[in-house]
Amino acid sequence: MKAVLVKSLLLFGARTRALSGVVNCTIDNFQSILDSNGTIDQVVYAQHYAANSTFQNPNATTLQFASNPVALPATCAVQVNVTTEYQTHFSFGIFLPDDWNGRFFLAAQEGTNINWVDMAVGLRYRFASVATDTGHTGSDMNGFWYLNPESLNDWGWRANHLGTVYGKLLTEQFYDTSIAYSYMAGCSTGGRQSFKEAQMFPEDFDGIISACPAYWTTHQQFFNLKQTTFQYPSGSNHTIPTELFDLIGQEAIRQCDPQDGLVDGLISDPLGCNFDYHSLLCIGSSNTSSCLTGPQLDTLHKFYSDWKEDNDTFIYPHSLYGSEAMWNQSGIFGNGSISNIGSQYWYPQHILGLTNFTFENLTLDLIQWAEEVDPGQDQASDWDLSPFYERGGKLLHYHGHSDAIVPP
C-alpha cells in the first residue's frame, strides 16, 4: 500500500510539473520575471512543445544556418533579446524541460546564431539548456555589427556571460528551485568561449568542457589565412592539386602508423613520426597525378612546418601528420585561388576593421598589432585558472591531432 502511495505521489508530481510547464510557458510570464529584476530585456518567443515534437526556430526565415532539432522531450522554449549597451544587443534561447534534472547547461556557439541543436542535446538529458547568438546571426555576417566595439565585446565574451546570468534567473524562477550544478561545453570557437568563461567568470559554471579551443584568435585566424597562400598562385608549378591530398594522407598513415608502436590505422604520435617526403616524389616520367614534383614537395614542407616570421619569431604550430582529411574543409589549404584566400579575410577586414586588407598586407607587425588591440577581448589566453579551480570548478580539455583548422 505504501509503495502504491509513493508511486502515485511521484506520478502526481510529474503531471503537476508538466502542467505547470504548459501554463507558465508564456511571453508574459517570462517578461514579468525579467521586469521584476530590473532588466530591459525583451522576451520575443515562448512556446511549449509536447514530447517528440520538432522545434520550429522562430527566426528560421532570416537565418543562414538555422536548424531545427527533432524528437524533443516535453519542454518550454524561450528566446530573449538582451540590450547590452546603446545600440548593441544579443539574443539567447533556453529549453526548460518538463522533467528537469535540477541542472543548467550552456551550449557554446561554434559559428553563428543560437545553437538550438546542441541545446537539444542537453535537453535530452533533462538539463535547462541555453545558448546565445553572441550578437550576430548567419544573415548579418556582412553587416556592420563588427564596427561597434561594444558589439565586439558581446561577440568576444559578454553574450555568453549575460546569457548565463539571465538564463539561470529564468530557470530558477520558472521552477521555483535553485540550480544544483551548472555546466558549459563547446568546440573550436565554442572551446575558446568555454576557456574565456573559466578565465573571466569563474563563478558561472561548476564544470566546463573545452574541445579543440581556438583560443589564440589573432594568431590562429591569420594562420588559417597563411595556409591558403602556400598554394598561390593557383595552377603554378608548386601548387598541389587538391585531389592529391588523400594520397598524402594515405602515405602519412603508411609511414607514421607503425612508428607509434601499434598498426591500427591511426597516427597516435604525429610529432614523433620521421616522415620521408621523398616517397611521394615523382621519378623520371612518373604520372604526376599520383606523385608530387620537387616544387610541390616544397609546398608540402610548408604545410607541415611551424609558421615563423622575422628573426625566427614563432607565430603558430603546424598541421600534423594525419590531418590531411581536413585540408579541403573550409578551404584551409585550398587550390591557391584568390577566392579561396579571400574566404579567410573576414577576421582582418571585419573584426580588425582593415576593409582593404589583402594577403600581401600580412606581416609580423600586423599580427603583433592585432594581438595588442585584441578586438572584443576574445583571446582566451589568461592561463591562471586558480580562481575557477579554487571554488571547486572542473575543466575537461581535449584536442584532436587531426585538426588542421586549429592545430593542437
Res. 26: pLDDT tops 80: yes
pLDDT more than 90, % of the chain:
77
Same domain, 292 and 150: no
Same domain, 166 and 249: no
CA distance 114 to 131: 6
Same domain, 263 and 336: yes
Same domain, 168 and 238: no
Same domain, 233 and 354: yes
Same domain, 29 and 166: yes
Averaged pLDDT, 262-275: 96
State the pLDDT at residue 63. 53
Give this prediction's pTM. Answer: 0.89
State the pLDDT at residue 8. 41
**Domain's final residue, options 117, 152, 179:** 179
Domain assignment present for residue 55? The answer is yes
Domain assignment present for residue 105? The answer is yes
Same domain, 88 and 236: no
What is the span of the domain harbouring residue 143? 19-179
**Domain's final residue, options 151, 179, 207:** 179
Residue 64 pLDDT class (50, 70, 90 cuts): very low
Same domain, 319 and 229: yes
Same domain, 262 and 143: no
Res. 5: pLDDT tops 70: no
HSE-CB of 223 using CA atoms within 13 angstroms: 25
Same domain, 360 and 258: yes
Domain assignment present for residue 195? The answer is no
Sheet containing strand 88-97, strands side by side: 42-49, 75-85, 88-97, 128-132, 103-107, 181-187, 207-211, 394-398
State the pLDDT at residue 13. 46
State the pLDDT at residue 145. 66
Residue 25 pLDDT class (50, 70, 90 cuts): very high
Domain assignment present for residue 400? The answer is no
Look at the chain and report how many structural domains it folds into: 2
Tens of pLDDT, residues 73-89? 999 999 999 999 877 89
Same domain, 107 and 245: no
Q: What sign does the dihedral 272-277-278-282 (CA atoms) show?
A: positive
**Domain's final residue, options 148, 179, 210:** 179
Tens of pLDDT, residues 352-400? 999 999 999 999 999 999 999 999 999 999 999 999 999 999 999 999 9
Averaged pLDDT, 172-181: 98
Same domain, 231 and 124: no
Q: What sign does the dihedral 193-194-198-202 (CA atoms) show?
A: positive
Residue 163 pLDDT class (50, 70, 90 cuts): very high
